[in-house]
Structures are given as C-alpha cells and as structure tokens.
C-alpha cells in the first residue's frame, strides 16, 4: 500500500506563489509517474500537471502552462508543484496522485491519491 501526503497549501493573494509537496510512503515498486489534480467547488476534478519517473516527460494543463512547474526527487519519494502568478481561478483542493506506470493526464488511471490540500487565491 502507498500513502501520499500533500503539504504547502494555503491562502495567497493573486500574483503570489505557493509550493506544494507530496511525499509518498509505503511500498513503491519500480518506476511510477506522479501527477497533480485539482477540484474547485462545484466543478469536476481536473488534471494540472504530471511527470514521468525520469522527469523527461512532463504534461501541463493549458491553464497553468508557464506559471506552474512540476518536479520530483525520487530519492525522497517526493514531488513538487511550484505555482507562480496565481489567479483566483486557481483556487481549489489540490490532490497528489501516483500511477504505477507511465504518466497520463487522466485521473482514472492513477492508482493512489492523497487527501488533498486547499489552495485559496484572493483577488
């Protein structure tokens, strides 16, 4: 079993920055992809960013390209999401996800999920 714990969320003014972290623990075998998803009130969960085991393949949602940067440290079993130039529409609960396999933009293929961390951007 794998556990994912997010941290780094909070309240920030528009234009500000936050850095989310997600630490994995438990039995992680071989290579795995990691991703970030978010869900705003009244909306469906959406893909934000994903990164392959090697870090060579990275995907971003169009809405965050150029503002968010995903990275990972395999030795620490941790991934990060640096969020800059935050906008009120970025307000959501952000979820960390892990997939045993290749990176993908569909949340349906991820095997493990964190509990989420709230990000609130005030205007």
> Can you tell me which residue has the tokens 């234009």?
15
What length does the chain have? 123
Q: pLDDT tens, position by position, for the chain (123 residues)?
A: 899 999 999 999 999 999 999 999 998 768 999 999 999 999 999 999 999 999 999 999 999 999 999 999 999 999 999 999 999 999 999 999 999 999 999 999 999 999 999 999 999
Residue 101's region, left for phi above 0, alpha for psi from -120 to 50, else beta, is left
- pLDDT at residue number 89: 97
- pLDDT at residue number 1: 87
Residue by residue, what is the 3-state secondary structure of the chain? CEEEEEECCEEEECCCCEEEEEEEEECCCCCCEEEEEEECCCCCCEEEEEECCCCCCEEECCCCCCCEEEEEECCCCEEEEEECCCCHHHCEEEEEEEECCCCCCCHHHCCEECCCEEEEEEC
How far is it, in rounded angstroms, from Cα 123 to Cα 121?
Answer: 7
- pLDDT at residue number 27: 83
């Amino acid at each position: 079993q794998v556990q994912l714990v997010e941290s780094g969320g909070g309240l920030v003014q528009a234009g500000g920055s936050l850095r989310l972290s997600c630490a994995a623990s438990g039995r992680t075998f071989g290579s795995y992809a990691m991703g970030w998803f978010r869900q705003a009130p009244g909306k469906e969960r959406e893909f934000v960013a994903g990164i392959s085991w090697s870090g060579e393949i990275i995907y971003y949602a169009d809405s965050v390209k150029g503002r968010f940067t995903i990275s990972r440290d395999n030795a620490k079993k941790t991934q990060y999401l640096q969020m800059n130039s935050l906008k009120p529409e970025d307000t959501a609960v952000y979820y960390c996800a892990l997939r045993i396999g290749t990176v993908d933009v569909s949340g349906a293929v991820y095997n493990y999920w964190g509990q989420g961390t709230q990000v609130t951007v005030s205007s």
